[in-house]
Amino acid sequence: MQQELFQALFEKIRSVPAEVGLAVRGVDIDLRIDINSIEPFRSASVIKVPLLAALFWLSEQGKLDWQERLALRDADRTPGSGILRELHTGLNLTLHDLAVLMIVLSDNTATNMLIDRVGVERVQEFLRLVGFHHTTLQRKMYDFAAAEQGRENLCCAAEIADLLKWMAQGEIRAVDGALLVSGAGCEQMLHIMRGQFYRDQIPALLPDEAKVANKTGEIRGHHHDSAVVWTPAGCYTLVVLTRGFEHRRVAASFIAELSLMIYRTVCHHTQDSS
């Protein structure tokens, strides 16, 4: 199954005028596929997944209280996706509220408030602990001045797929084996991601029996999606990063079609084996 699926995915990726990084990881099934999976891409909002994991790591260390409240300031308002920038100054939100908005609506204002609260250095420390070499948070959302100085947020498909796999398996550990995020924390993260509003890529063509927790990302010719997918045949993670599609709709359809190819192969293989 795995070699045939790899070949089909490879041919489809080769047929499009864009660069694509893809990684699939079986959570409770034997499945691993990598196509350009360690190629760094501008992460866009996919970086919010490791940021969420870092927040849960800090919470479990006692360094972050989810019920702590932050007041929305005019200076916090950030362009792009989200709703907070439209709401009134002084609105009080818990850190948990901000985390939900960051994932479910990809709210950039909420994201930047969280980055200000914990600091880029703490998130980078978490990424080092889990052994990531390509995924990095170096600036806030829409900080173009920092981007022009070379401080760009990056990720690769393999590392995000691994992180989601650990989350779905119920624990995130450091390279040295130390527990960073417990099963309870992992389940809370997945619960947040299951509420995702943007579902026109990996989940779009899947049947109702498939359950998906995902996080998209989009910035200047980059269109991404990352997900945990639960099927009757088992669970896997899928990350697709793209660079070079001219139209968002074309990129979304392409990612949705890749997702359906994987889903059908996993489910049909299990049926054939039973």
Range 127-149 average pLDDT? 90
**Of all residues in the chain, what percent carry a pLDDT higher than 90?**
92
pLDDT tops 50 at residue 206 = yes
CATH of domain 2-273: 3.40.710.10
> How many C-beta atoms lie closer than 10 Å to residue 178's C-beta?
8
Q: Where are the domains of the chain?
A: 2-273
Best CA proximity match to 168, nearest among 118, 223, 225, 228: 228
The pLDDT score that the predictor gives to residue 270 is 57
pLDDT band at 271, cuts 50/70/90?
low
Mean residue pLDDT across the chain: 95
Angle of helix 48-60 relative to helix 108-118, nearest 10 degrees, comes to 40
pLDDT tops 90 at residue 1 = no
pLDDT tops 90 at residue 54 = yes
φ and ψ at residue 269, rounded to 5 degrees: -65, -40
How does pLDDT run across 33-45, given as a tens digit for each residue?
999 999 999 999 9
Question: Which residue type occupies 171?
Answer: E
pLDDT tops 80 at residue 272 = no
pLDDT band at 23, cuts 50/70/90?
very high
**If 0-12 CB within 10 Å is exposed, 13-18 middle and 19+ buried, where does residue 86 land?**
exposed
Instruction: Judge contact between 171 and 181, C-beta under 8 A.
Output: yes
Range 215-229 average pLDDT? 96
Range 235-244 average pLDDT? 98
**Of all residues in the chain, what percent carry a pLDDT higher than 70?**
98
pLDDT band at 143, cuts 50/70/90?
confident
The pLDDT score that the predictor gives to residue 150 is 82
Q: Which residue has the higher pLDDT, 218 or 270?
A: 218
Range 76-95 average pLDDT? 96
